[in-house]
Structure 1
Amino acid sequence: MTNHSDGSTPARVDWDAEAAAFDEEPDHGLRDPDVRAAWADRLRDWLADRPGDLLDLGCGTGSLSLLAAERGHRVTGVDLSPAMVEQARTKLAGRDAVFLVGDAAAPPVGEERFDTVLVRHVLWTLPDPGRALRLWRDLLRPGGRLVLVEGVWGTVSPVGIPADRLTALLAPLAGHTRVERLSDDSRLWGRAVEDERYAVVATV
């Protein structure tokens, strides 16, 4: 079970049960060519030009992993849901990619180190985001990048992690950090959104 960033506990989600329909969301499956192209454009900016080793935490069905692999990156994906991992393995069959069942807060990668750690919509669910960020930083090689896609969702009882809180947590960990606002790019989500959505790219 995971916690909200405000300390409250959300309803448990059975991600194995969600896996079959997960890709039906435009920004999950990236089946719409415009949505897929929008995420591909963003990854082109966020990831290093030279292909490297990329760790995709909370990878889901592997849609972002696939975009990274298409750019030549060697992908390791981690997700708690065996059903999600199985879909990711199918989606990236024949690619330089491996997918593991495990916790994003404690990835089962041993001593392996990466050029990029990519995490989308995971950090806000963790009980100790600062601890997770320190662990993820330590998984990076010198000069590596943390790419974090997060937000704050909902109006009555909003959940998530605001950009200013995330950048404050990163301040002692990263040499350079930039924030990219994503709410106004409806192509990414397949619709217009009004909540706070953003990416942080931090170089260690």
Structure 2
Amino acid sequence: MTDEHEHTVTTAPPVDWDAQAAGFDAEPDHGLRDPEVRAAWAARLRSWLPAHPADVLDLGCGTGSLSLLAAGQGHRVTAVDLSPAMVERARAKLAGRRAEVLCGPAEAPPVGELRFDVVLVRHVLWTLPDPARALRHWRDLLRPHGRFVLVEGVWGTLHPVGIPAGRLTALLASLTADVRVERLSGDPVLWGKEVTDERYAVVAAV
């Protein structure tokens, strides 16, 4: 992988997420319906999130699958998605849990003065027009000693979209005290299939 590729950010074309909502959970890593896939994500979350109950802000939560896992591990979750149809499904999933689901943009979530121990984001930064600005805002939503948990990657061959790990760690350099990259491409259980593209998680303390 070249240095040029490492520092390229290619954002996605606009997506109608309301239209995607009905079939969103059909993807193994979205719906987490397969017990093995769900257990694999639960194990990763357990290693990324604090060992004690924490306030987790899940941005671009989709139908709430990761929020559900986090709540099941004892965390207090605030989930945010721009799509009303996604929010409706997430609220149904999280009913009865210590969780609130809000409708709003990931880059400027409608959380007022609330602050969090974790900002959890999966496959969202690549959709935003200004990832650096979003990260700066999310940093302000973290309490002292809080952390980012960012799951991203690069998808596609002819016209790849996404954020390479090198680019994301560069964006975080001025915002965080400690950055750890965990490669995820080699774990097919997470995705319900073998993958050859770049997929990774960044856990960054502030």
- Indicate yes or no: 2:92 matched with 1:124: no
1:41 and 1:146 map into 2 onto residues whose CA distance is 17
Q: Is the 8 A contact 1:145 1:202 kept in 2?
A: yes
* 1:185 corresponds to: 187
Map of 2:99 onto structure 1: 97
**Equivalent in the alignment of 2:49:** 47
Q: 1:6, CA displacement in angstroms?
A: 3.2
Residues 5, 125 of structure 1: 8 Å contact kept:
no
Of 137, 143, 146 in structure 2, the residue corresponding to residue 144 of structure 1 is 146
Structure 1 residues not aligned, in runs of 5+: none
CA contact (8 A) 1:75 1:98 kept: yes
Query: % of aligned pairs identical?
Result: 75
Secondary structure at the counterpart of residue 86 of structure 1:
helix
2:31 pairs with 1:5? no
Distance in 2 between residues matched to 1:60 and 1:94, nearest whole Å: 18
**Equivalent of 2:178 in 176, 181, 194:** 176
Q: How many residues align?
A: 199
Cα deviation for residue 5 of structure 1 reads 3.1
Residues 33-112 of structure 1 correspond to what in structure 2 (within 5 A)? 33-112=35-114
- 2-structure distance, mates of 1:59, 1:87: 10
TM-score computed with the length of structure 1 as normaliser? 0.95
SS at match of 2:111: coil
1:42-67 deviation line (CA, Å, top 9, x unaligned): 00100000011100000000000000
Q: CA deviation at 1:17?
A: 1.4
Q: Could you tell me how far apart the structure 1 residues matched to 2:123 and 2:104 are?
A: 16
Gaps of 5+ in 2: 1-7
Aligned-partner Cα distance in 2 for 1:94–1:152: 35
Cα deviation digits, residues 69-90 of structure 1 (max 9, x gap): 0011010000011110011110
Q: Choose the corresponding residue for 1:27, options 15, 29, 43.
A: 29
Whole-angstrom distance in 2 between the partners of 1:51 and 1:117: 14
- Asked if structure 2 preserves the Cα contact closer than 8 Å seen for 1:79 and 1:101, the reply is yes
Residue 16 of structure 1 corresponds to which residue in structure 2? 18
Greater mean deviation of Cα atoms: 121-130 or 33-42: 121-130
Distance 2:161 2:57 in 1: 25
Contact 1:176 / 1:202 at 8 angstroms: preserved in 2? yes
- C-alpha RMSD of matched pairs (Å): 1.1
**Paired residues of 1:5 and 1:127 also in contact (CA < 8 A):** no
Tell me the secondary structure at the aligned position of residue 95 of structure 2: coil
Name the SS of the counterpart of 2:185 in structure 1. coil
